[in-house]
Structure 1
Amino acid sequence: MTNRLFDPSVAPAAVPEVNVRGPWSFLWWLVRARPWPLVLSALLGTAWMVPLALTPLVVGQAIDGAGQGGGAGDVVLWALVALGLGAVQALAGAGLIQAAVGAEAHAVSYSHRVLMRQVVRLGATLRGKARSGDVAASAAADVESIGQAFEVVGRTVGAVIAAALVTVALTVTSPLLGLAVLIGVPAAVLGIGPLLRPLQARDEAQREQMGIATSQAGDIVAGLRILRGIGGEARFAERFRRTSQQVRRAGESAGRMEAWLQAAGVLLPGLVTVGIVWFGAHLALNGAITAGELIAFYGASAFLTLPVSTATEAAETVSLARVAAGRICTLLCLEPDTVAPPHPEPLPPGPLSLTDPETGITARAGRLTVVVAPADRTGDLADRLTRPVRPDGIPPVLLGGVPLDRVDLAELRSRTLRSGPADPLFTGTVREELTAANPTRSPEALDRALWAADATDVVDALPGGLDAQLDEGGRTLSGGQRQRLVLARALLASPDALVLEDPTASVDAHTEARVAERVAALRTGRTTLVFSDSPLWRGVADHEIRLNPGPAPAHPDRPAGEPS
Structure 2
Amino acid sequence: MTNRLFDASVAPTAVPEPDVRGPWTYLWWLVRIRPWPLVLSALLGTVWMVPLALIPLVIGRAIDEAGQGADEAGLYLWSLLALGLGILQALAGAGLIQAAVGAEAHALSYTHRVLLRQVVRLGATLRGKARSGDVAASAAADVESIGNAFEVVGRTVGAVVAAVLVAVALTATSPVLGLAVLIGVPAAVLGIGPLLRPLQERDEAQREQMGIATAQAGDIVAGLRILRGIGGEAGFAERFRRTSQRVRRAGESAGRMEAWLQAAGVFLPGLVTVGIVWFGARLALNGTITAGELVAFYGASAFLTLPVSTATEAAETLSLAKVAAGRLCVLLRLTPETTQPAHPEPLPCGALSLADEDTGITAETGRLTVIAVPAERTGELAGRLTRPGGSRDTPAVLLGGVPLDRVDVTELRSRVLRSGSADTLFSGTVRDELTAGVARSREALDRALFAADATDVIDTLPGGLDAHLDEGGRALSGGQRQRLVLARALLTAPDVLVLEDPTASVDAHTEARIVERVAALRTGRTTVVFSDSPLWRGVADHEVRLDADPVPGSPDRSAGVPS
Normalised-by-shorter TM-score class:
over 0.9
1:83 aligns with 83
1:212 aligns with 212
1:562 aligns with none
Structure 1 residues 550 and 62: alpha-carbon distance in aligned structure 2, compared to 1, 3 A threshold = farther
1:495 aligns with 494
Q: How does 1:183-262 map to 2 (within 5 A)?
A: 183-262=183-262
Query: Following TM superposition, by how much is the alpha carbon of 1:394 offset from its aligned partner in structure 2, in angstroms?
Result: 1.1
- Greater displacement, 547-556 / 379-388: 547-556
2:104 aligns with 104
What's the secondary structure of 2:528's corresponding residue? strand
Check the 8 A contact 1:498/1:529 in 2, yes or no: yes
Q: Equivalents in 1 of 2:509, 2:15: separation in Å?
A: 52
Q: Equivalents in 2 of 1:312, 1:7: separation in Å?
A: 44
2:506 aligns with 507
User: What TM-score results when the alignment is normalised by the length of structure 1?
Assistant: 0.96
1:167 aligns with 167
1:24 aligns with 24
1:440 aligns with 439
Instruction: Say whether 1:113 aligns with 2:113.
Output: yes
Q: Equivalents in 1 of 2:375, 2:160: separation in Å?
A: 66
Query: Following TM superposition, by how much is the alpha carbon of 1:524 offset from its aligned partner in structure 2, in angstroms?
Result: 0.4
Q: Equivalents in 1 of 2:14, 2:176: separation in Å?
A: 53
Instruction: Say whether 1:528 aligns with 2:533.
Output: no
Query: Following TM superposition, by how much is the alpha carbon of 1:397 offset from its aligned partner in structure 2, in angstroms?
Result: 1.0
2:290 aligns with 290
Query: Following TM superposition, by how much is the alpha carbon of 1:120 offset from its aligned partner in structure 2, in angstroms?
Result: 0.7
Query: Following TM superposition, by how much is the alpha carbon of 1:72 offset from its aligned partner in structure 2, in angstroms?
Result: 2.9
1:264-284 CA distance string (max 9 Å, x none): 000000000000000000000
Query: Following TM superposition, by how much is the alpha carbon of 1:29 offset from its aligned partner in structure 2, in angstroms?
Result: 0.1
What's the secondary structure of 1:41's corresponding residue? helix
Q: Equivalents in 1 of 2:12, 2:351: separation in Å?
A: 33
2:474 aligns with 475
What's the secondary structure of 2:355's corresponding residue? strand
Q: Equivalents in 2 of 1:113, 1:327: separation in Å?
A: 16
What's the secondary structure of 1:349's corresponding residue? coil
Q: How does 1:377-416 map to 2 (within 5 A)?
A: 377-416=377-416
What's the secondary structure of 2:138's corresponding residue? helix
1:3 aligns with none
Q: Equivalents in 1 of 2:346, 2:549: separation in Å?
A: 34
Q: Equivalents in 2 of 1:304, 1:435: separation in Å?
A: 60
* Matched letter for residue 486 of structure 2: L
Q: Equivalents in 2 of 1:100, 1:14: separation in Å?
A: 24
Query: Following TM superposition, by how much is the alpha carbon of 1:553 offset from its aligned partner in structure 2, in angstroms?
Result: 4.5
Q: Equivalents in 2 of 1:113, 1:11: separation in Å?
A: 9
Q: How does 1:265-344 map to 2 (within 5 A)?
A: 265-344=265-344
Query: Following TM superposition, by how much is the alpha carbon of 1:359 offset from its aligned partner in structure 2, in angstroms?
Result: 1.3
Query: Following TM superposition, by how much is the alpha carbon of 1:71 offset from its aligned partner in structure 2, in angstroms?
Result: 3.7
1:351-383 CA distance string (max 9 Å, x none): 111111111111111001111111111111111
Q: Equivalents in 2 of 1:370, 1:101: separation in Å?
A: 57
Query: Following TM superposition, by how much is the alpha carbon of 1:460 offset from its aligned partner in structure 2, in angstroms?
Result: 1.2
CA RMSD of aligned residues (A): 1.5
1:165-189 CA distance string (max 9 Å, x none): 0111100000000000000000000
Query: Following TM superposition, by how much is the alpha carbon of 1:235 offset from its aligned partner in structure 2, in angstroms?
Result: 0.4
1:132 aligns with 132
Q: Equivalents in 1 of 2:443, 2:173: separation in Å?
A: 85
* Matched letter for residue 524 of structure 2: G
Q: Equivalents in 2 of 1:416, 1:553: separation in Å?
A: 26
Q: Equivalents in 2 of 1:136, 1:242: separation in Å?
A: 20
Check the 8 A contact 1:41/1:99 in 2, yes or no: yes
Instruction: Say whether 1:557 aligns with 2:562.
Output: yes
Q: Equivalents in 2 of 1:401, 1:117: separation in Å?
A: 31
Structure 1 residues 94 and 550: alpha-carbon distance in aligned structure 2, compared to 1, 3 A threshold = farther
Query: Following TM superposition, by how much is the alpha carbon of 1:532 offset from its aligned partner in structure 2, in angstroms?
Result: 1.1
2:153 aligns with 153
Q: Equivalents in 2 of 1:138, 1:340: separation in Å?
A: 27
Query: Following TM superposition, by how much is the alpha carbon of 1:45 offset from its aligned partner in structure 2, in angstroms?
Result: 0.3
1:41 aligns with 41
Query: Following TM superposition, by how much is the alpha carbon of 1:14 offset from its aligned partner in structure 2, in angstroms?
Result: 4.6
Aligned residues: 552
Check the 8 A contact 1:545/1:554 in 2, yes or no: no
Check the 8 A contact 2:8/2:410 in 1, yes or no: no
1:465 aligns with 464
Query: Following TM superposition, by how much is the alpha carbon of 1:17 offset from its aligned partner in structure 2, in angstroms?
Result: 2.9
Q: Equivalents in 1 of 2:199, 2:415: separation in Å?
A: 51
1:132-189 CA distance string (max 9 Å, x none): 1111111111111010000000000000000000111100000000000000000000
Q: Equivalents in 1 of 2:458, 2:63: separation in Å?
A: 81
Q: Equivalents in 2 of 1:12, 1:128: separation in Å?
A: 23
Check the 8 A contact 2:544/2:561 in 1, yes or no: yes
Check the 8 A contact 2:12/2:117 in 1, yes or no: no
Structure 1 residues 364 and 12: alpha-carbon distance in aligned structure 2, compared to 1, 3 A threshold = closer
Q: Equivalents in 2 of 1:416, 1:398: separation in Å?
A: 12
Q: Equivalents in 1 of 2:526, 2:16: separation in Å?
A: 40
Q: Equivalents in 2 of 1:451, 1:229: separation in Å?
A: 30
Query: Following TM superposition, by how much is the alpha carbon of 1:192 offset from its aligned partner in structure 2, in angstroms?
Result: 0.5
Q: Equivalents in 2 of 1:109, 1:556: separation in Å?
A: 53
Note the residue ranges of structure 1 that are not aligned, 5 or more in a row: 1-5, 559-564
Q: Equivalents in 2 of 1:355, 1:197: separation in Å?
A: 57
